[in-house]
Structure 1
């Protein structure tokens, strides 16, 4: 079965960084317990990396947007188009 790789960048407000990081750690442990997922932090961003079966992508995106709606107050917007995330998804090449 083909796999999809998604990378999503988030930029928490400085005063909310630790709270957002804990929230996304909890979310990933619940939402991707059966998949391959990682979180990375930089000085200003949290980056989520997920590998999943292609057929799960649409369902995961819907659940992720619902979760993101609850987190928006903790995040800075990147710009008017991308708003609170900088996502990229594509086919995993192995």
Structure 2
């Protein structure tokens, strides 16, 4: 899905949710506590450099959102309830 608009953000919390929802993310810092989102390429670190921000935003727009969710299938609650009932 080329042409999707990535989020550019420096806040840490939403990058996981963006990955799960298929929204490309450009982190405006040099590090992240979520290396799994870098591994699936749903996020890129741009730091505070304006040129890197623009380049990475363009790259994420062209890339699309083809990655696989690294946080599981969204069934953890159901699985836990099933185990507790049995």
**Considering the TM-score relative to the shorter chain, is it more than 0.5?**
no
Computing the radius of gyration over CA atoms, which structure comes out larger, 1 or 2?
A: 2
Higher strand share: 1
Task: Tell me the TM-score normalized by structure 1.
Answer: 0.27
